[in-house]
Amino acid sequence: MKYRLGTRRSELAKTQSTQVLEELKKAGVECELVFIDSAGDKNHKDALYEFENATPGLFTKQLEVALLEDRIDLAVHSLKDLPTDLPKSLLIGAITARVSTEDWLLIHFDAFDAQEPLFLKKGARVGSSSLRREAQLLEVRTDLQVVAIRGNVPTRVIAVREKKVEATVLAAAGLLRLKLNLDGLHVLKLAEREFPPAPGQGALAIEIRDDASEELKTGLQNLHDLNSETETRIERRVLKGLFGGCTLPLGVRCYKEGKLLKAKVFIGVLKDRKSVNKEWVGFHHFDISSQDEETLVDSIVQKAKGILNV
């Protein structure tokens, strides 16, 4: 039997889905790609945080609908795009090892300045539709102009090359999976201690129906990574506890160190999250550790709620 593997049409989505298809083939599970258009693929105009308010799961919902309607048997997502609440009868069959959790800042050499923080010239225009990335950049450099930019990963790299913007911030995992040529651009790898990533960043999630065949469920276990599952489960529990999504400027990076679970957290605070005119009033970093997952998650959520006054 050939299983129908649903994927979006972007180059990154196709690359990630093809990698999963090939790994499943090694495990004796045959798949074929089925292309599904997401709301996020159709709307390249609105900033992600604006679109997310009206359309939660903008990159994943149509794939989930196809699963529920039995038009596909499994779907591959970037875990950071997947809402924390899954539809009834759907579940995550595997979470892959993280390629990288970092963000990379790609800079056009005309905007490069080795004397300035982040190596960006004064007043540089940085393309990003992520509130978290905007907050993290402005914490370091209040003079930067963060402008909305949409499109797939190659499109955003081209936007820097063509100086539509002078820099952009992208997940390293996507750049590495696509093996993009970044010659002619300066690449600054942003340290996680200062720039914690989005919850789940760097991992893939394979979503299936709860009535999936045992063959498929068993095959997916060959792709599953236990460390990645633990880290991302905690990060996503924090996100869920704060009722967050693209509209919350939250960075969380969880990792194990011996018997300890540790987390680095970033939160940006807007004066009015519903206002069109963004006014940042605070940027907060904190580290928390515990041997117990429940304690760790609760401690992060309660501290974050205190910062956000929710």
Catalytic residues: 81
Q: Are 200 and 176 in contact (CB under 8 A)?
A: no
Beta strands in the chain (DSSP E): 2-7, 30-35, 74-78, 90-95, 103-108, 125-127, 145-147, 167-171, 185-190, 204-209, 250-257, 260-270, 280-290
198 closest CA partner among 158, 226, 238, 227: 238
CA atoms of 224 and 220, how far apart (whole Å): 7
> Can you tell me which residue has the tokens 């992600």?
48
CB under 8 Å to 181, separation ≥6 — which residues? Answer: none
- The token pair at 192 is 């996680």
Q: How far is CA 247 from the centre of its chain?
A: 13
Tell me whether residue 22 is exposed, middle or buried, using C-beta atoms within 10 angstroms of its C-beta: 0 to 12, 13 to 18, 19 or more.
exposed
Query: Considering Cα of 209, then 215, then 218, then 223, what sign does the dihedral take?
Result: negative
Q: Say what the alpha-carbon torsion angle 251, 254, 257, 259 is, to the nearest 10 degrees.
A: 140
Q: Are 61 and 207 in contact (CB under 8 A)?
A: no
SS3 26: helix
Q: How far is CA 200 from CA 9, 15, 22, 83, 261, in A?
A: 22, 19, 23, 11, 16
